[in-house]
């Protein structure tokens, strides 16, 4: 059972105190409180877990702070869509709105390499009116001898440059929970010039302890990539791990599936699942055409496969695009062959806008 409180209910109000007193004393029921900061209001949701079958919806709705109650199913309790559940999706972070109804583009470097490339990338984003990017500092690599990312050493100059160019959110993969503190300490020291969305890569989709650690903190939203070799249901449950620990600001990212049948692409593009994820859950859905396609190949009519894949995802209703660009792909330390060129950025952004307008119609 889920009890949704009246918007902007103060946690020190008498109505809240009475409501909590009642709920916390229900036998066999444990209570979990989730705060959601939307663009215009703050919502408090109270999940009642355990022996809730005998509770009546009317009884919960009669409590002074409760606006309405919803009986929720076991699947994706917090992030899922339930019968008669008309809650809004998404959240606002660092002034940027993330929902199932809008679109944010995160073009950027797969891996941070040298300051000059980061500068060029961010300058191009600023010139094109973009306020989000992707920047990999901690890289999960197949081969232990491959470049593993600059780690915390590059954070100060990456964050400073982001602030300088008006970047509000950087999607940054972390591979260990200690990276959360490294990012947080650095941002705090610099006076928080930008924001970070913690990315969990496809290799870590079911790293449950990492998911729990990211779920326990509420400062940074999370971007969870679908596991490339597991079912959609398993990946959605992984997302629920984040929410179950307290952080429901989660975006789910499709990035292609590992299969021989996916050749000649690096992965089998799975963007037809965008509407399915939006139907099953309230998470905004991201697509990563770069790691799906894995190359700068073009169709005979000259269109990049990455653009075709992006269009499929955006027309299917994607809410975020995570895409690799690089000023000099031949010099990139990770995934250069799939990075688009800076000169392709304006047309790429324009094509995405056209696809998004088509979807909205």
In the complex, the residues that contact ligand E4P under the rule CB under 6 A are: 110, 139-143, 146, 291, 334-335
User: Does residue 136 belong to the site contacting ligand PEP (CB under 6 A)?
Assistant: yes
Q: By Cβ distance, which residue is nearest to ligand E4P?
A: 142
Q: Which two tokens stand for residue 360?
A: 């909205």
Cis peptide before 264 (omega within 30 of 0): yes
Q: Which partner, ligand PEP, ligand E4P, none, binds residue 146 by CB below 5 to 8 Å per kind?
A: ligand E4P
Q: Which two tokens stand for residue 175?
A: 């591979």
Least Å distance between CB 147 and ligand E4P? 9
CB under 6 A: which stretch of 15-23, 41-49, 198-206, 211-219 binds ligand PEP?
198-206
For ligand E4P, the closer CB: 245 or 305: 305
Q: Which partner, ligand E4P, ligand PEP, none, binds residue 68 by CB below 5 to 8 Å per kind?
A: none
Q: Which two tokens stand for residue 334?
A: 């990770």
Q: Which partner, ligand E4P, ligand PEP, none, binds residue 149 by CB below 5 to 8 Å per kind?
A: none
Binders of ligand PEP among residues 255 to 314 (CB under 6 A) are 255, 288, 291
Name the phi and psi angles at 253, rounded to 5. -115, 125
Residues 6+ apart with CB under 8 A from 205: 224, 225, 226, 227, 230, 234, 235, 238
User: Does residue 202 belong to the site contacting ligand PEP (CB under 6 A)?
Assistant: yes
DSSP 273-301: GHHHHHHHB---EEE-HHHHH-S--B-TT
* Rounded-to-integer distance, Cα 297 and Cα 108, Å: 19
* Rounded-to-integer distance, Cα 284 and Cα 278, Å: 7
Q: Tell me how crowded residue 193 is: count the other CB atoms within 10 A of its CB.
A: 16
* Rounded-to-integer distance, Cα 157 and Cα 117, Å: 12
Least Å distance between CB 157 and ligand E4P? 20
User: Count residues contacting ligand PEP (CB under 6 A)?
Assistant: 11
- Over the window 149 to 178, marking each residue x when it contacts ligand PEP by CB under 6 A and - when it does not, the resulting string is ------------------------x-----
Do you know the residue count of the chain? 361
Which residues contribute to the site for ligand PEP (CB under 6 A)? Answer: 110, 136, 140, 173, 201-203, 225, 255, 288, 291
């Amino acid at each position: 059972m889920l009890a949704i409180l009246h918007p902007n209910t103060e946690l020190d109000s008498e109505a809240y105190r009475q409501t909590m007193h009642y709920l916390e004393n229900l036998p066999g029921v444990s209570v979990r409180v989730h705060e959601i900061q939307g663009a215009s209001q703050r919502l408090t949701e109270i999940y009642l877990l355990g022996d809730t079958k005998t509770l009546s919806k009317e009884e919960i709705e009669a409590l002074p702070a409760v606006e309405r109650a919803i009986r929720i199913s076991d699947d994706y309790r917090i992030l899922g869509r339930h019968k008669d559940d008309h809650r809004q999706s998404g959240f606002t972070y660092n002034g940027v709105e993330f929902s199932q109804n809008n679109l944010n583009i995160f073009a950027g470097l797969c891996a941070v390499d040298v300051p000059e490339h980061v500068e060029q990338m961010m300058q191009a984003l600023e010139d094109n009116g973009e306020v989000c990017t992707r920047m990999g500092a901690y890289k999960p690599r197949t081969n232990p001898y491959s470049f593993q990312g600059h780690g915390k050493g590059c954070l100060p100059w990456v964050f400073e440059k982001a602030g300088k160019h008006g970047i509000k959110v950087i999607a940054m993969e972390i591979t260990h929970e200690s990276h959360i503190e490294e990012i947080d300490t650095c941002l705090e020291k610099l006076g928080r010039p930008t924001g970070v969305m913690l990315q969990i890569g496809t290799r870590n989709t079911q790293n449950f302890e990492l998911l729990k650690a990211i779920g326990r903190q509420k400062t940074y939203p999370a971007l969870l990539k679908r596991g490339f070799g597991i079912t959609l249901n398993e990946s959605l449950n992984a997302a629920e791990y984040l929410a179950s620990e307290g952080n429901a600001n989660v975006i789910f990212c499709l990035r292609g599936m590992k299969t021989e049948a996916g050749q000649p692409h690096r992965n089998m593009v799975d963007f037809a699942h965008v509407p399915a994820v939006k139907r099953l859950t309230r998470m905004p859905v991201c697509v990563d055409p770069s790691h799906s396609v894995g190359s700068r190949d073009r169709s005979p009519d000259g269109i990049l496969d990455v653009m075709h894949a992006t269009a499929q995802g955006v027309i299917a209703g994607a809410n975020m695009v995570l895409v690799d660009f690089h000023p000099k792909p031949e010099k990139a330390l990770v995934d250069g062959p799939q990075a688009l060129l800076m000169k392709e950025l304006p047309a790429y952004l324009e094509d995405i806008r056209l696809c998004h307008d088509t979807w909205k119609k």
